[in-house]
Structure 1
Amino acid sequence: MPPETIAIAADHAGFELKELLKAELVRLGFQSLDLGTNGPESVDYPDFADKLAAALKEGRAARGVLICGTGIGISIAANRHRHVRAAVCHDGTSARLARQHNNANVLALGARLLGPEVAKDCLETFLATAFEGGERHTRRVGKLS
């Protein structure tokens, strides 16, 4: 079975962290679908949230990672798409709970707020954690979309 593809995108503030996390995805056994940006020049984060949302909708990836300066703006842009459940995470606990309780399919990170090791921990935890399901969480997640 081929490795799962994870879409990843960032604005200029998240470019360096995106590059680091692409390598981490490979180390963890995933394939990355890099949707840009491709350098530190200023760009608009909603454009990259839209690219990632389209990749999920088209089935090119089932999950994704978005990065901007704080993770907030790019997650707001991504969550405008009904099939996206993007969660801004700041540590392994928030990444784990985003998956277990909210069935988040997109991890949003703030490159200006997290160091590389914390970001890698968030990524690994997010990808390794399954949705708990159950009546309570499933009902609530159903109301999100």
Structure 2
Amino acid sequence: MSKKIAIGGDHAGFHYKTEMIKVLETEGYEVKDFGPYSGDSADYPDFVHPLCDAIEKGEFKQGILICGSGNGVAITANKHQEIRAALCWTEDLASLARQHNDANVLALPARFIPFDLAEKMTMIFLTTEFEGGRHATRVSKIACK
């Protein structure tokens, strides 16, 4: 499992992103921050597209996106053909996103979950393997090519 992680979001997720970077680095991950770099109002697509481009180029296997609701970053990320972003708000959803959907981007809603839950879901997401099998067949049908 790669220990390189891409992370980004918007101004509403800035505080959680800053704290999550510390957690990830403590866990031995090499983290690239795609921004924003302050809590000032920002447009999430400006950070989400470069993060997803880097995953599609193979620079990272997985990414974490954090915004207020998680919706904007997830919608934007899923415009990329090789990205499977999952908006999660429970530990079970984070686990299933990996096990059944082979999600490669976790979208977190900073305004709706406590940071300790965001941290738990991130660790679950990063350490849970894709089950493959019947799920692989389904995942192979997701991208519009």
Q: Classify the TM-score, shorter chain.
A: over 0.9
Q: How many residues align?
A: 143
Instruction: Give deviations 1:70-113, integer Å, cap 9, x for gaps.
Output: 10111000000001000001021110000000000000001101
What TM-score do you get using the length of structure 2 for normalisation?
Answer: 0.95
Structure number with higher helix proportion: 1
Asked whether the equivalents of residues 10 and 18 of structure 1 are also in contact (C-alpha less than 8 Å), the reply is yes
Secondary structure in 1 matching 2:141: helix
- The structure 2 residue matched to 1:138, chosen from 136, 139, 145, is 136
Q: Which runs of 4+ in 1 moved over 4 A?
A: none
Percent identity, please.
46
Q: Which residue of 1 aligns with 2:85?
A: 86
- Alpha-carbon separation, structure 2, partners of 1:75 and 1:29: 26
Pair 1:31 & 2:17 matched: no
- RMSD across aligned C-alpha pairs, in angstroms? 1.3
- Alpha-carbon separation, structure 2, partners of 1:108 and 1:28: 20
Asked whether the equivalents of residues 28 and 124 of structure 1 are also in contact (C-alpha less than 8 Å), the reply is no
What TM-score do you get using the length of structure 1 for normalisation?
Answer: 0.95
Q: Which residue of 2 aligns with 1:76?
A: 75
